[in-house]
Amino acid sequence: MLTRKQLELLMFIDRHLRTTGFSPSFEEMKDALKLRSKSGIHRLITALEERGFLRRRAHRARALEVIRLPDHVAPRPAPLPAAATLPAPAEANPAGGAFAPNVIHGRFAPQLSGVAKAANEAAAVHLPLYGRIAAGQPIEALRDSGASVEVPAALLGSGEHYALEVAGDSMVEAGILDGDIVIIRRGDTAENGAIVVALVDDNEVTLKRLRRRGNSIALEAANPRYETRIFGPDRVKVQGRLVALLRRY
């Protein structure tokens, strides 16, 4: 028998896993259940583990697995096919809602028939790949001439886009890992709470969550090991907003 909060958390984790392919962060779980601290989430997860509903995978960040659901809950739908495109990401909102990145798994069929190949090529576009995002260089300096990445056109929508390879683990709790390819919609503005490519002091580029605090701008990491950095508004320039990411296994 589960408590209301235990059931609510279990169903939220299950939905998140089926939608995105990875576990929600503790911050996302705290917000979803409207709890004041993450300690309550730790207690709920431990209780669900003890009752045989959840399992944590050792030595992996954000690795929760739903083993079973209560008997009165409807069966879960079948998982997506290996090459399926996941739904568009849920964008951050001014109230601080979490961003759920759109992950395209790299398990594609090695050969396609003529008709399928033509349809596949028509539904994809090539974006410039600007190399690994790193401190000390503006976006323009990262460009690797001739490098590109193929992306499903359905992910992009309107506007100009480019791709970057992520270096480091500062955004792991937003589901963005070292080596991922992030898809960025070019622009110089972004809503509060969006994950952006930010140029600091005209020479340092970073991928962080943008928060406006009065007359200041905060660039937040999604990893407790990294501090939030606060800048004056004239020191930060937005160079694009995260809309999707690609990951290969």
| Residues known to be catalytic | 170, 208
Task: Give me the residues paired with residue 129 across strands.
Answer: 163
Whether residue 143 contacts residue 169, with contact meaning beta carbons closer than 8 Å, is answered with: no
Alpha-carbon span 105 to 203, nearest angstrom: 33
**Within a 13 Å sphere around the CA of 109, how many CA atoms are in the beta-carbon half?**
9
Query: SS3 of 4, please?
Result: helix
For residue 61, CA distances in Å to 46, 99, 177, 242 come to 16, 17, 10, 22
Position 127: which residue type?
L
Alpha-carbon span 67 to 159, nearest angstrom: 41
Alpha-carbon span 90 to 171, nearest angstrom: 16
Buried b vs exposed e over 132-167: b needs ≥16 C-beta within 10 Å? ebbeebebeebeeeeeebebbeebbeeeebbbbbbe
DSSP calls for 88-118: PPBPP-TT-PPPB--EEE----S---HHHHH
